[in-house]
Amino acid sequence: MDQLLELCDTEICPKMEQSLPLIGDAAPEFTASTTNGKIKFPDDFAGKWVVFFSHPADFTPVCTTEFIEFQNNLKEFEKINTTLLGLSVGGLTSHLGWFDAISKMQNGTNITFPLIDDLNMNVAKLYGMIQAGASDTHAVRAVFIIDPNGIIRTVLYYPASLGRNMSEIWRILVALQTADAFGVATPANWTPGDEVLTPAPTSASELREHDKKIPWFMNYKKLDKKEIYDKICKKNAETK
Ligand code: BEZ
Protein backbone atom coordinates (compact mmCIF):
# COMPACT_ATOMS: atom_id res chain seq x y z
CA MET A 1 0.00 0.00 0.00
CA ASP A 2 2.81 2.43 0.92
CA GLN A 3 4.47 1.64 -2.40
CA LEU A 4 1.23 2.45 -4.20
CA LEU A 5 0.96 5.80 -2.39
CA GLU A 6 4.58 6.57 -3.33
CA LEU A 7 3.75 5.83 -6.97
CA CYS A 8 0.83 8.22 -6.73
CA ASP A 9 3.28 11.00 -5.77
CA THR A 10 5.11 10.58 -9.09
CA GLU A 11 4.26 11.60 -12.62
CA ILE A 12 2.79 8.12 -13.23
CA CYS A 13 -0.20 9.09 -11.12
CA PRO A 14 -0.20 12.86 -10.51
CA LYS A 15 -2.17 14.04 -7.50
CA MET A 16 -5.71 15.13 -8.27
CA GLU A 17 -5.53 18.83 -7.53
CA GLN A 18 -9.03 19.75 -8.59
CA SER A 19 -12.50 18.69 -7.69
CA LEU A 20 -15.26 18.68 -10.30
CA PRO A 21 -18.65 19.42 -8.75
CA LEU A 22 -21.51 17.95 -10.74
CA ILE A 23 -25.27 18.34 -11.08
CA GLY A 24 -26.99 17.17 -7.87
CA ASP A 25 -23.92 17.75 -5.66
CA ALA A 26 -23.97 20.13 -2.72
CA ALA A 27 -22.09 23.27 -3.77
CA PRO A 28 -18.59 23.02 -2.22
CA GLU A 29 -18.15 25.43 0.68
CA PHE A 30 -15.55 28.19 0.82
CA THR A 31 -14.88 31.59 2.31
CA ALA A 32 -13.44 34.35 0.11
CA SER A 33 -12.82 38.06 -0.25
CA THR A 34 -14.86 39.75 -2.95
CA THR A 35 -15.26 43.25 -4.37
CA ASN A 36 -18.27 43.54 -2.00
CA GLY A 37 -16.56 42.15 1.13
CA LYS A 38 -16.03 38.70 2.62
CA ILE A 39 -18.43 35.86 1.84
CA LYS A 40 -19.11 32.40 3.21
CA PHE A 41 -20.43 30.28 0.36
CA PRO A 42 -23.08 28.95 -0.02
CA ASP A 43 -24.42 29.86 3.46
CA ASP A 44 -24.59 33.62 2.78
CA PHE A 45 -26.70 32.90 -0.33
CA ALA A 46 -29.18 30.44 1.24
CA GLY A 47 -32.75 30.92 -0.01
CA LYS A 48 -31.60 32.37 -3.35
CA TRP A 49 -30.69 30.92 -6.73
CA VAL A 50 -27.07 31.74 -7.58
CA VAL A 51 -25.34 32.09 -10.94
CA PHE A 52 -21.74 31.45 -9.89
CA PHE A 53 -19.56 32.08 -12.92
CA SER A 54 -15.86 32.34 -13.71
CA HIS A 55 -14.10 34.26 -16.43
CA PRO A 56 -10.49 34.07 -17.67
CA ALA A 57 -9.13 37.55 -16.95
CA ASP A 58 -9.88 41.16 -16.04
CA PHE A 59 -9.21 43.86 -18.68
CA THR A 60 -10.07 41.55 -21.60
CA PRO A 61 -12.68 42.29 -24.27
CA VAL A 62 -15.05 39.29 -24.16
CA CYS A 63 -15.09 39.32 -20.33
CA THR A 64 -15.84 43.04 -20.35
CA THR A 65 -18.89 42.53 -22.59
CA GLU A 66 -20.07 39.72 -20.31
CA PHE A 67 -19.78 41.80 -17.14
CA ILE A 68 -21.70 44.67 -18.74
CA GLU A 69 -24.45 42.25 -19.84
CA PHE A 70 -24.61 40.46 -16.46
CA GLN A 71 -25.04 43.89 -14.83
CA ASN A 72 -27.60 45.04 -17.43
CA ASN A 73 -29.66 41.91 -16.70
CA LEU A 74 -29.24 41.97 -12.91
CA LYS A 75 -32.77 43.28 -12.26
CA GLU A 76 -34.28 40.54 -14.45
CA PHE A 77 -32.29 37.93 -12.51
CA GLU A 78 -33.38 39.45 -9.19
CA LYS A 79 -37.06 39.20 -10.23
CA ILE A 80 -36.58 35.42 -10.30
CA ASN A 81 -34.80 35.38 -6.91
CA THR A 82 -31.37 35.02 -8.48
CA THR A 83 -28.11 36.61 -7.48
CA LEU A 84 -24.78 36.74 -9.35
CA LEU A 85 -21.30 35.84 -8.12
CA GLY A 86 -18.20 36.13 -10.32
CA LEU A 87 -14.70 34.70 -10.03
CA SER A 88 -11.40 35.06 -11.81
CA VAL A 89 -7.79 34.29 -10.98
CA GLY A 90 -6.99 37.85 -9.94
CA GLY A 91 -6.79 40.04 -6.87
CA LEU A 92 -9.10 42.78 -5.62
CA THR A 93 -6.84 45.58 -6.91
CA SER A 94 -7.11 44.22 -10.45
CA HIS A 95 -10.87 43.54 -10.14
CA LEU A 96 -11.61 47.03 -8.80
CA GLY A 97 -9.35 48.68 -11.40
CA TRP A 98 -11.21 46.82 -14.14
CA PHE A 99 -14.61 47.81 -12.69
CA ASP A 100 -13.40 51.41 -12.66
CA ALA A 101 -12.42 51.13 -16.34
CA ILE A 102 -15.85 49.64 -17.19
CA SER A 103 -17.60 52.47 -15.35
CA LYS A 104 -15.65 55.00 -17.46
CA MET A 105 -16.50 53.40 -20.82
CA GLN A 106 -19.11 55.03 -23.04
CA ASN A 107 -22.49 54.60 -21.29
CA GLY A 108 -20.45 53.52 -18.23
CA THR A 109 -21.72 50.57 -16.20
CA ASN A 110 -21.22 50.23 -12.45
CA ILE A 111 -20.70 46.57 -11.58
CA THR A 112 -22.53 45.97 -8.31
CA PHE A 113 -22.42 42.18 -7.94
CA PRO A 114 -19.41 40.60 -6.18
CA LEU A 115 -16.29 39.31 -7.92
CA ILE A 116 -14.11 36.90 -5.91
CA ASP A 117 -10.40 37.49 -5.31
CA ASP A 118 -8.96 34.09 -6.25
CA LEU A 119 -5.32 34.86 -6.90
CA ASN A 120 -4.30 31.53 -5.29
CA MET A 121 -6.84 29.59 -7.45
CA ASN A 122 -8.24 27.79 -4.38
CA VAL A 123 -11.88 28.37 -5.25
CA ALA A 124 -11.33 27.90 -9.00
CA LYS A 125 -9.77 24.48 -8.33
CA LEU A 126 -12.54 23.56 -5.90
CA TYR A 127 -15.04 24.15 -8.72
CA GLY A 128 -13.05 22.58 -11.59
CA MET A 129 -12.69 25.96 -13.29
CA ILE A 130 -8.99 25.47 -14.14
CA GLN A 131 -8.91 23.15 -17.13
CA ALA A 132 -5.35 22.30 -18.25
CA GLY A 133 -6.23 21.96 -21.92
CA ALA A 134 -7.35 25.59 -21.89
CA SER A 135 -4.94 27.13 -19.36
CA ASP A 136 -3.09 26.23 -16.14
CA THR A 137 -3.37 29.74 -14.78
CA HIS A 138 -6.72 31.14 -15.94
CA ALA A 139 -10.26 29.96 -15.34
CA VAL A 140 -12.47 28.82 -18.20
CA ARG A 141 -15.88 30.43 -18.56
CA ALA A 142 -17.79 28.17 -16.15
CA VAL A 143 -21.37 28.68 -14.96
CA PHE A 144 -22.76 26.88 -11.92
CA ILE A 145 -26.46 27.38 -11.27
CA ILE A 146 -27.08 26.64 -7.61
CA ASP A 147 -30.54 26.40 -6.05
CA PRO A 148 -31.78 27.98 -2.79
CA ASN A 149 -30.82 24.78 -0.91
CA GLY A 150 -27.20 24.97 -2.11
CA ILE A 151 -27.53 22.15 -4.67
CA ILE A 152 -25.86 22.41 -8.09
CA ARG A 153 -28.59 22.23 -10.74
CA THR A 154 -26.78 23.13 -13.98
CA VAL A 155 -23.13 23.32 -15.07
CA LEU A 156 -21.98 25.03 -18.28
CA TYR A 157 -18.47 25.51 -19.69
CA TYR A 158 -17.46 27.84 -22.49
CA PRO A 159 -14.06 28.51 -24.09
CA ALA A 160 -12.31 31.87 -23.71
CA SER A 161 -13.34 33.08 -27.17
CA LEU A 162 -17.10 32.62 -26.58
CA GLY A 163 -19.12 35.16 -24.60
CA ARG A 164 -22.10 33.79 -22.70
CA ASN A 165 -25.74 34.35 -23.64
CA MET A 166 -27.72 36.07 -20.85
CA SER A 167 -31.06 34.97 -22.32
CA GLU A 168 -30.00 31.32 -22.13
CA ILE A 169 -28.85 31.62 -18.51
CA TRP A 170 -32.15 33.36 -17.63
CA ARG A 171 -34.09 30.65 -19.56
CA ILE A 172 -32.34 27.91 -17.59
CA LEU A 173 -33.26 29.59 -14.29
CA VAL A 174 -36.93 29.97 -15.27
CA ALA A 175 -37.05 26.40 -16.64
CA LEU A 176 -35.57 24.94 -13.44
CA GLN A 177 -37.96 26.94 -11.27
CA THR A 178 -40.90 25.95 -13.49
CA ALA A 179 -39.91 22.27 -13.27
CA ASP A 180 -39.72 22.52 -9.47
CA ALA A 181 -42.96 24.48 -9.04
CA PHE A 182 -45.17 22.53 -11.49
CA GLY A 183 -43.57 19.05 -11.59
CA VAL A 184 -43.01 19.27 -15.35
CA ALA A 185 -40.09 19.14 -17.80
CA THR A 186 -39.33 21.64 -20.54
CA PRO A 187 -38.76 20.58 -24.17
CA ALA A 188 -36.06 21.74 -26.60
CA ASN A 189 -36.00 25.50 -27.20
CA TRP A 190 -38.68 26.01 -24.53
CA THR A 191 -39.39 29.52 -23.37
CA PRO A 192 -42.13 30.54 -20.90
CA GLY A 193 -45.55 30.26 -22.55
CA ASP A 194 -44.61 27.21 -24.64
CA GLU A 195 -46.12 23.82 -23.82
CA VAL A 196 -44.37 21.75 -21.15
CA LEU A 197 -43.98 17.97 -20.78
CA THR A 198 -45.69 16.00 -18.04
CA PRO A 199 -44.94 12.45 -16.82
CA ALA A 200 -46.14 9.47 -18.93
CA PRO A 201 -49.47 7.84 -17.97
CA THR A 202 -49.21 5.67 -14.87
CA SER A 203 -52.61 3.94 -15.10
CA ALA A 204 -54.75 2.22 -17.76
CA SER A 205 -57.39 4.95 -17.55
CA GLU A 206 -54.77 7.69 -18.06
CA LEU A 207 -53.43 5.73 -21.02
CA ARG A 208 -56.94 5.47 -22.57
CA GLU A 209 -57.33 9.25 -22.34
CA HIS A 210 -53.96 9.90 -23.93
CA ASP A 211 -53.92 11.66 -27.32
CA LYS A 212 -53.47 8.73 -29.75
CA LYS A 213 -51.84 10.94 -32.39
CA ILE A 214 -48.58 11.10 -30.41
CA PRO A 215 -46.59 8.29 -28.69
CA TRP A 216 -47.74 7.27 -25.21
CA PHE A 217 -44.56 8.60 -23.57
CA MET A 218 -45.06 12.13 -24.92
CA ASN A 219 -47.41 14.25 -22.82
CA TYR A 220 -47.71 17.93 -23.59
CA LYS A 221 -49.53 20.41 -21.39
CA LYS A 222 -50.29 24.10 -21.80
CA LEU A 223 -48.72 26.27 -19.13
CA ASP A 224 -49.47 29.94 -19.27
CA LYS A 225 -46.60 32.41 -18.94
CA LYS A 226 -48.55 34.40 -16.34
CA GLU A 227 -49.20 31.26 -14.28
CA ILE A 228 -45.46 30.60 -14.21
CA TYR A 229 -44.46 34.12 -13.23
CA ASP A 230 -47.27 34.36 -10.66
CA LYS A 231 -46.09 31.18 -8.98
CA ILE A 232 -42.33 31.72 -9.26
CA CYS A 233 -42.39 35.40 -8.28
CA LYS A 234 -44.92 34.80 -5.47
CA LYS A 235 -42.86 31.89 -4.14
CA ASN A 236 -39.72 34.00 -4.39
CA ALA A 237 -41.39 36.95 -2.64
CA GLU A 238 -42.39 34.58 0.21
CA THR A 239 -38.82 33.31 0.65
CA LYS A 240 -37.32 36.85 0.78
C1 BEZ B 1 -11.48 37.91 -23.52
O2 BEZ B 1 -12.21 38.06 -22.57
O3 BEZ B 1 -11.54 38.61 -24.52
C4 BEZ B 1 -10.44 36.83 -23.48
C5 BEZ B 1 -9.93 36.41 -22.27
C6 BEZ B 1 -8.97 35.43 -22.24
C7 BEZ B 1 -8.53 34.85 -23.43
C8 BEZ B 1 -9.06 35.27 -24.63
C9 BEZ B 1 -10.04 36.26 -24.66
- In the chain, domain spans: 18-164, 179-239
135 lines ligand 1 (CB under 6 A): no
Tell me the β-bridge partners of 85. Answer: 52
Cα torsion at 78, 56, 97, 30 (round to 10°)?
60
Tell me the CA–centroid distance for residue 58 and ligand 1, in Å.
Answer: 9
- The finding on whether 128 has its CB within 6 A of some atom of ligand 1 is no
pLDDT score of 112 more than 90 = yes
More confident residue, 202 or 239: 202
214 CB-side CA count, 13 A: 10
Among 13, 20, 6, smallest CA distance to 129 is for 20
User: Which residue minimizes the CA distance to atom 8 of ligand 1?
Assistant: 160
- Residues 39 and 46: their CA atoms lie apart, in Å, by 12
> Which residues, 6+ apart, have CB-to-CB distance to 93 below 8 Å?
none
Give the contacts of 166 (CB within 8 A, at least 6 positions apart): 69, 70, 72, 73
Q: How far is the CA of 78 from the centre of ligand 1 (A)?
A: 27
Alpha carbon 15 to chain centroid distance? 28
Q: Model pTM?
A: 0.91
Any idea how long the chain is?
Answer: 240
pLDDT of 10 higher than 50? no
Peptide bond before 42: cis, by omega within 30 degrees of 0?
A: yes
Amino acid of residue 98: W
Distance 66 CA to ligand 1 centre (A): 11
Cβ partners under 8 Å of residue 25, min gap 6? 151, 152
C-beta 130 within 6 A of ligand 1: no
**SS3 of residue 181 by DSSP:** helix
Q: Which of 8, 13, 63, 233 is catalytic?
A: 63
Q: How many helices (H) and strands (E) does the chain have?
A: 8, 9
- Asked if 144 contacts 61 with a C-beta cutoff of 8 angstroms, the reply is no
pLDDT at 201: 87
Least confident among 48-57, 62-71, 202-211: 202-211
Q: Is domain 18-164 given the CATH code 3.40.1280.10 in the classification?
A: no
Question: In the annotation, is 13 catalytic?
Answer: no
**Looking at ligand 1, which atom is closest to the CA of residue 138?**
6
pLDDT at 7: 44
Decide: 90 in ligand 1 pocket, CB within 6 A: no
With 80 as the cut, is the pLDDT of residue 167 above it? yes
Residue range 212-238: mean pLDDT, rounded: 88
Q: Kindly report the backbone phi and psi dihedral angles of residue 142, in degrees, each rounded to the nearest multiple of 5, phi listed first.
A: -105, 150
* Angstrom distance (rounded) from CA 175 to CA 192: 8
Q: Is 63 in the pocket of ligand 1 (CB under 6 A)?
A: yes
Q: Is the CB of 139 under 6 A from ligand 1?
A: no
Predicted pLDDT of residue 234: 67
**Tens-place pLDDT, residues 38-59:** 999 999 999 999 999 999 999 9
Contact call for residues 161 and 56 (beta carbons, < 8 A)? no
The answer on pLDDT for 5 being more than 60 is: no
pLDDT at 100 over 70: yes
Q: Determine contact, residues 231/73, Cβ cutoff 8 Å.
A: no
Percent of the chain topping pLDDT 70: 90
Q: Whose CA is nearest to atom 7 of ligand 1?
A: 160
